[in-house]
Structure 1
Amino acid sequence: MANRLTAPAPLWRVDDWAREWAVEEVFGIEPELLNDDRLGRALDAIAPHLTELTDSFGARAIGEFGIDVSTCHWDMTSMSLYGAYPADDQDEDYPRIKHGHPKDRRYDLKQIQTGLAVTGDGGIPLLSRVIDGGAAEISQSTHVMNALRTIACPKKFLLVADSKLVSYRNVTALIKARTDFIAPAPASTVDDAVYAALDLDAASVVDYTPARDENTPADRRETYRVLEDTHVLSGPRKRDPQVEVRRILVHSTGNAKGQQRARDKRLAKARDELDKLQRGAGGRYYNTAQKIAARTGVIAKTRRVTGCLHTEITTDDTGRPALDWHFDQDVLQAEAAVDGWYALLTTLTPEQADAAEVLRRHKGQQGTVERRYSDFKGPLAVTPVFVQDNKRVAALVAVICLALLVFCLIERQVRRALGGDQKMSGLYPGNQMVRPTGRMILYHLSGLRLRVGHATDPPTIVISRGVQLHLLDLLGLEPTHPRWPET
């Protein structure tokens, strides 16, 4: 964990890192002992206890740091791995490395997945799971909910997740367990006609400003409006009772502009290709109606304009084909009418949270769990993974998840100590006031140096910049004492 926080790298030549980072002075471990074999055996030793370790760390963090668990955000991500990882060589008792649906679109590589449950308070990843590379995300939600209930007990919590949470089985399990949730409705469950029929003027404006718009003039900020109705979920069997939940219909001006730009871009590319095809009709390459029709179909599918494209292929007396085409404006207007709309499903009652509050609580998903995955893959560098079997891969990913927990606790501690707007200067050139991130805190603290002492002269920590002293003070650490783990 210390290695991942200070100099993340594959498990190779860790002894060199240990010499440079005063591991012997701080932890009492000789660097020569940290060879590849020993670290591999350590992963083997902790692998049978991953759930026990990660859950106990999360529960301890709640008690030690007073973390508010009333809202938890759950999401999964994938890590693509290089290597064959034959199925016969993998341990069936641990998550398997296999092909799945990778987030990075590397379908040629096998993957392992991980899931994080992150608190709304400070974005602390209290629960982590290493998951089979081919597992469906929708099947993990019930297990996560039960594990979170155990960690958070006796407190109740709100589970915020993405659309993969929404299934009849998951929703009924959450309702039975009396665990509230917020999740986007899958696109396939809400017809575009529902959005097209909505009256935007009747929607209530939400008092919410995204973090990216904090310094943007008010008239240029993204705005949100909400309406409310109900959504019915039907079970896979006819005898299954229907489940009714609240549906919050949200309109985002930012989403609307983005969808309009994307559509304009698709139409422009399709228009250029169709014009080129029209000019080339009857020529060397497109000398038959069948070839023109085939090419038209490819353009329509590639540029996703099948619904609005109308074509007519004719031939003259000599058999030479010609193409005429146009976009159906009524279809385009119908598409534009639903721009910016999406739906959130929740079991929160109106007394617990009105429609605007449901949206505000959901918006924390991107600001918490997504940012932690950025830390997971960025400063902590979960990949590349240079271990050969799935048992050790699972253990290593779990260790990195625990390092992420410490990383986030450091960030939370500094921000809480700052108070107010949680901003400080000295982290970036120019001394602008910014919120400290875990990455920048550890970057500045990495400049600390240990001066080794002797029997009558104890070792001391050499501080070269004022920001280092400030950060140590915010963390409540004694800057002259090198053996921090003991204090």
Structure 2
Amino acid sequence: MNFASKNVDHLGIVAGVCHEIGLVEEIDKLVGTKDKQIVTTGEAVMAMVINALGFVNRPLYLFPEFMRNKPTELFFREELKPEDFNDDTIGRTLERLYENDPTKIFMHIALKVADTLRISRKFLHLDTTTMSVHGEYKFEDNDQVPIKITHGYSKDKRFDLKQFIISLITTSQADFPLWMDVLSGNCSDKTHFRDVIKKFSKELSKENEEAYFVMDSAMYTEDNVKEISPLVKWISRVPETISEAKKLVEETSIEEMSKSSIEGYSYRGYTNSYGGVEQKWLVIFSEKGYDREIKTLNKSIEKERENIETGLWHFMNTEFNCQEDGISELNNKAAKWKYHKISDVNVEEVNKTGKRGRPKKDTQDLKKVYKIKVGFEKDEMRIGREKNKKGKFIVATNDIKLDDNEALKEYKGQQSVERGFRFLKDPLFFASSVFLKKPERIVSLGMVMVLSLLIYSVAQFKLRKALKECGETIPDQKGKPTAKPTMRRVFQMFEGISLLIKIRNGVQRIAGMLNLREIHRKILALLGKSYEKMYLC
């Protein structure tokens, strides 16, 4: 008799979520199956999710290697072998997903899961992020491609690389991804946000529950406000490029504001009709934002002072043929100063021969030149005006009855979608290995990436909910009890768990699980039977 082992680690939890939500069955129902398919589309997608949440940064073309030491018979079914998950299987799966509309597939699964878990859809956060890729991705203008991998405004400041865009809608509760799409790398948020709301707002809203779409300032244009306000309620930051907003921020003093129920915030409300739509504007002051922005301002003031000193040293050693030229150049320099002003000016007249060395006593050919000595100081009035704007921003909503504090709370909740983007861009997540050459496959891979975020969110939501309901805790990284663990921390706790395989006469049988401790059993019991099934063999 011989023994072998296969790595389970935290991937049994990932597989448990997939089984609980019926991921394989739902995808196969939407996409269909073929008689000669060894691995169904749903199974291949589940395998890609397991790969993504393995946090090993293993690209898809090394998929069989990743699966080689995984218990496919436990995660999937006995008939499947690691070598079945090869690059041809993955490539065909990505193409089949594309043929059946990845956005539609994802939204079908996400809405069903959200309803099962009773996740609120009242506040929905919409945003985009850019995903950089390596490679040329050359296409002609008339090529029929689903998206263009191209240069555009990079939110990661990687302007040297081509990119595509992932658009995401998450719920305020649980940071749950509800909708996604993959866009061309030069797509504009301004038009995209409007198009999403027009096309999907009814499907994403619960029946008999009005949803609020929360977006950043890219949404807030006159055309967008006019077009989407009859369709949905929205909350958005107002860009200070709008003159009325800039003026309001400057003129609203902190003393005029009311303290928010959210610690560290104050606000004052105004009514407004920008774009011909009745709405409420909240001028908000953030104490932490103020402190952060004042530090940045002080650094800018100091840097400008150093630059002015260097520039004036050269200027004051420059000789001018007439003082008017010198004064004109000085005024041009001072006009560029943001935080300083001229304090005094002295013009020195100098006689020169135009030749090097000391002039002879009887030299008559002397030339007058001028040097200008300058003093400068802080422009306290301008600095004061700048300080008065710091820590302030405007949040608008077309629901004038919405509670002010709730509007602020939900705008702050825009971090929900940003957390999702940070997850997708994590170096250990396989987003860093986007190497696919076909745009169709990139579109499908984007869906699988967000699907992985959904699986992660479900596990975290379920565990936190169970801990709260049972009044239980588990240890965090420092060993302190917490009822709100991150799933990443839980995944770390499951490292080293292996499936023991007993081999007799060439026949393999599961003999048990190695390194399963009491804390693991506790977590699995809290998560439920689908998860215990993966470990308690």
Q: TM-score interval w.r.t. the shorter chain?
A: 0.7 to 0.9
3-state DSSP class of the match of 1:12? helix
CA distance in 2, matches of 1:428, 1:293: 64
2:262 partner amino acid: Y
How far off its partner does 1:343 sit?
0.6
Correspondence for 2:388 among 305, 322, 337: 337
CA contact (8 A) 2:291 2:391 kept: yes
- Provide, for residues 180-217 of structure 1, a one-character-per-residue CA deviation record: whole Å limited to 9, x for no partner: 111110111144432232232231101114xxxxxxxx
Structure 2 counterpart of 1:204 = 258
Q: Which has the higher contact order (CA 8 A, sep 6+)?
A: 2
- Provide, for residues 24-77 of structure 1, a one-character-per-residue CA deviation record: whole Å limited to 9, x for no partner: 442133211222233222212211221221111112112322211111111111
3-state DSSP class of the match of 1:229? strand
Structure 2 counterpart of 1:375 = 423
**Greater shift in the superposed pair: 48-57 or 399-408:** 48-57
Correspondence for 2:414 among 365, 372, 386: 365
3-state DSSP class of the match of 1:96? coil
1:277/1:172 CA distance change after superposition, 3 Å:
closer
Structure 1 counterpart of 2:270 = 229
CA distance in 2, matches of 1:280, 1:196: 37
> Does 1:322 pair with 2:375?
no
**Greater shift in the superposed pair: 339-348 or 192-201:** 192-201
**What is the Cα-based RMSD across aligned positions, in Å?**
3.1
CA distance in 2, matches of 1:415, 1:261: 37
1:327 partner amino acid: K
Structure 2: state its 5+ residue gaps.
Answer: 1-48, 351-368
1:11 partner amino acid: L
3-state DSSP class of the match of 1:316? strand
Q: How many pairs does the alignment contain?
A: 456
> Does 1:156 pair with 2:188?
no
Correspondence for 2:177 among 104, 110, 125: 125
TM-score, with length taken from structure 1: 0.85
Structure 1 counterpart of 2:519 = 467
1:200 partner amino acid: I
Structure 1 counterpart of 2:247 = 193
1:296/1:67 CA distance change after superposition, 3 Å:
farther
1:311/1:463 CA distance change after superposition, 3 Å:
same
CA contact (8 A) 1:311 1:323 kept: no
1:336/1:316 CA distance change after superposition, 3 Å:
same
3-state DSSP class of the match of 2:445? helix
Structure 2 counterpart of 1:402 = 451
2:453 partner amino acid: L
3-state DSSP class of the match of 2:273? strand
Find the structure with the greater CA-based Rg.
Answer: 2
CA distance in 2, matches of 1:398, 1:269: 45
CA distance in 1, matches of 2:156, 2:472: 33
Correspondence for 1:180 among 233, 245, 254: 233
How far off its partner does 1:309 sit?
4.5
1:166/1:13 CA distance change after superposition, 3 Å:
same
Equivalent runs, 1:12-411 vs 2, <5 Å: 12-28=61-77, 29-48=80-99, 49-88=101-140, 92-145=144-197, 146-154=199-207, 155-177=209-231, 179-189=232-242, 190-209=244-263, 223-234=264-275, 242-283=276-317, 305-306=337-338, 309-310=341-342, 316-318=348-350, 319-322=369-372, 324=374, 325-350=376-401, 353-366=402-415, 368-378=416-426, 380-411=429-460
Structure 1: state its 5+ residue gaps.
Answer: 210-222, 235-241
CA contact (8 A) 1:287 1:321 kept: yes
1:69/1:480 CA distance change after superposition, 3 Å:
closer
CA contact (8 A) 1:22 1:450 kept: yes
- Provide, for residues 349-373 of structure 1, a one-character-per-residue CA deviation record: whole Å limited to 9, x for no partner: 32xx32222112221112x111111
3-state DSSP class of the match of 1:348? coil
Equivalent runs, 1:406-445 vs 2, <5 Å: 406-419=455-468, 424-433=473-482, 435-445=484-494
Report sequence identity in percent.
22
1:66/1:268 CA distance change after superposition, 3 Å:
same
